[in-house]
Amino acid sequence: MRLNFRRGNVKNYTLAILHELTQNAAKIDANETAQFIAQLKKASHIFLNGAGRSGIAIQAFANRLLHLGFSVSIVGEITSPHSKPGDLLVICSGSGETSSLKSLAEKAKQSGVDLALVTMKRASTIGRLADVVLVLPGTTKEENQRGETFAQPMGSAFEQLAFLTFDGLVKNLMDATGETSETMFHRHADFE
């Protein structure tokens, strides 16, 4: 389906973005999401990290996992505990090649920590190290073809789809655990 839009029309750009995300979301593999959820459920503690806008999306996911009652922390936060075997590191990286995240993934594997990756590139360096890979369709900032009729800048489509997919994972975990917005709210921060 080709969308017609006028340049500079925010409403139509937004509709085109939603169309792109809908097309990409339809390609998410149900087996990969099931494996990803199983990895989350068995982890003693879940560490999460990403860089840039992918890092923002995974921080939002960490927040909801906390609300669900999981033991979680963002890598680099001062209150983050020491890792141990049985823990899980979840990395969100469109390319799977961000140097700081590659180093973190290698350290996790050396420490016996399981590794899950949300990415566009299964065959990336981090993807090859990961126990579980959840591939989200999209183009990396390096691949983005700016000559198309409509193209979001850099890795925007991946970052947006990651945010939405994380919320889909939360809804699935709510179903599995019997959690509701009301029960989760009791774990919501009250010092804000």
Q: Which residues are catalytic?
A: 159
d(CA 70, CA 76): 18
Burial bucket for residue 29 (CB in 10 Å: 0-12, 13-18, 19+): middle
CA distances from 154 to 118, 139, 158 (A): 17, 8, 9
